[in-house]
């Protein structure tokens, strides 16, 4: 059995308190009548609502499925998957096989027909874990088959569907921000997932996924600032900021990079270049926001006037980077996160999704199944 590092325990926090915190966080997100953002529709469907944008999106749906499989909650997992299948899955057109990234709560209307690749990669990984943990059932609960089909479309959409575009660039193996645009989002690069896709997806694509894992680790070293460790929200294939849409700063999406680097280290071991990113980011944020007064920052570390929209997410993900970090601030970030409560209010969805993932990671409980 794989040994996952428990940085909370290493920092002196009793295991009983760690277990209690995980259970409370899951209860808050899925069951607490005031603070939850999972909603059971009572007909076999359930959805995660983005409480800041008032929609259900593939990001949150697939995140919820990953939370459910990690916590052995097949009941919740199947309701989220059925909602995704019935209300978001595309059965025709150029997006056939993909999932509409945003729908109204309840699924009665799609806000967009196009997909978001970060949703697809989380769907696939959660489904593979569900297959391993609970076994495959009848469609659409034939989890492993569904995961393979999703990834088949992600890589081969242009061959499978007229007018379709793949979610990964076939030449450089980078995940795209959306299928039609030839640039990326550093926080979409889940190299630790791709290592498993190489083993679990179609055999013919094994080498593709191995190459994607390698390419993503390298991409983070060119898209994150070499001094601050900060990634832009969107970046070109050469690592430079994507500036035409105003997403070149260290802002909401970009916070997830540290979390991804941390989980890759927990699952596959530390990579020196990625550890340096985690160290630099922790050092930079310790210097820029000693009192946790977080702002929007340029990737070079300039503080902008606008306040961070998701300050709890910054703390959680930067702390998760401690799984990869080697620097003097790693333990302090773990303790800072431990002393940070879940977020309340309209913006709690994004912060608390990342909070829960990082809680599992730092407790050694975000596991491969």
* Residue 26: closest CA among 259, 313, 366, 355: 355
Which of the following is catalytic: 59, 118, 185, 279?
Answer: 59
Q: Rounded to whole angstroms, how far apart are CA atoms 32 and 313?
A: 20
Residues sharing a CB contact under 8 Å with residue 44, sequence separation 6 or more, in sequence order: 78, 79, 82
Residues sharing a CB contact under 8 Å with residue 32, sequence separation 6 or more, in sequence order: none
Residues sharing a CB contact under 8 Å with residue 253, sequence separation 6 or more, in sequence order: 185, 187, 233, 234, 247
Q: Rounded to whole angstroms, how far apart are CA atoms 76 and 328?
A: 40
Q: Any idea which residue has 């970090």 for tokens?
A: 325
Residue 102 backbone dihedrals phi, psi, to 5 degrees: -145, 130
Q: Which stretches of the chain are DSSP H helices?
A: 7-10, 15-30, 58-70, 74-87, 117-134, 143-160, 191-200, 206-223, 256-268, 272-288, 311-320, 330-338, 348-362
- Return the exposure string of 140-179: e unless at least 16 CB atoms fall within 10 Å of the residue's CB, then b: bbbbbebbbbbbbbbbbbeeebeebbbbbbeeebbbbbeb
Which of the following is catalytic: 253, 264, 279, 351?
Answer: 253
| Sheet bearing 56-57, strands edge to edge | 56-57, 102-103, 110-112
How many other C-beta atoms can be found within 10 angstroms of the C-beta atom of residue 106?
14
Whether 171 is a known active-site residue: answer: no
Structure token pair of residue 131: 């297959």
Helix (H) or strand (E) holding 307, with range, is: strand 303-307
How many other C-beta atoms can be found within 10 angstroms of the C-beta atom of residue 282?
24
Whether 253 is a known active-site residue: answer: yes
Q: Any idea which residue has 């640039």 for tokens?
A: 183
Supply the residues annotated as catalytic.
Answer: 59, 253
């Amino acid at each position: 059995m794989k040994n996952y590092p428990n940085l909370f325990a290493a920092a002196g926090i009793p295991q009983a308190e760690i277990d209690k915190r995980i259970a409370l966080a899951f209860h808050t997100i899925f069951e607490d009548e005031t603070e939850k953002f999972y909603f059971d529709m009572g007909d076999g469907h359930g959805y995660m609502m983005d409480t800041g944008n008032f929609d259900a999106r593939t990001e949150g749906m697939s995140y919820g499925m990953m939370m459910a499989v990690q916590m052995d909650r097949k009941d919740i997992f199947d309701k989220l998957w059925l909602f995704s299948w019935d209300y978001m899955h595309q059965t025709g057109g150029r997006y056939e096989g993909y999932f509409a990234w945003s729908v109204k709560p309840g699924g009665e209307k799609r806000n967009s027909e196009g997909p978001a690749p970060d949703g697809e990669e989380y769907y696939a990984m959660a489904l593979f874990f569900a297959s391993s943990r609970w076994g495959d059932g009848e469609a659409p609960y034939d989890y492993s088959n569904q995961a393979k089909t999703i990834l088949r479309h992600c890589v081969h959409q242009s061959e499978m569907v007229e007018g379709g575009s793949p979610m990964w660039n076939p030449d450089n193996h980078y995940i795209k921000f959306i299928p039609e645009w030839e640039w990326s989002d550093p926080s979409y690069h889940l190299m630790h997932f791709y290592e498993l896709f190489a083993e679990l997806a179609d055999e013919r694509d094994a080498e593709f996924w191995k190459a994607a894992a390698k390419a993503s680790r390298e991409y983070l070293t060119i898209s994150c600032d070499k001094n601050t460790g900060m990634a832009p929200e969107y970046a070109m294939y050469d690592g430079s900021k994507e500036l035409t849409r105003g997403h070149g700063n260290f802002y909401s999406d970009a916070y997830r990079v540290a979390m991804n680097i941390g989980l890759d280290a927990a699952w596959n071991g530390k990579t020196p270049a990625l550890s340096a990113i985690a160290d630099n980011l922790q050092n930079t944020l310790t210097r820029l926001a000693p009192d946790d007064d977080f702002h929007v920052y340029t990737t070079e570390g300039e503080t902008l006037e606008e306040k961070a929209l998701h300050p709890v997410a910054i703390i959680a993900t930067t702390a998760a980077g401690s799984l990869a970090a080697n620097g003097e601030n790693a333990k302090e970030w773990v303790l800072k996160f431990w002393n940070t409560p879940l977020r309340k209010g309209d913006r709690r969805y994004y912060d608390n999704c990342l909070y829960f993932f990082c809680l599992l990671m730092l407790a050694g409980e975000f596991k491969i199944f």
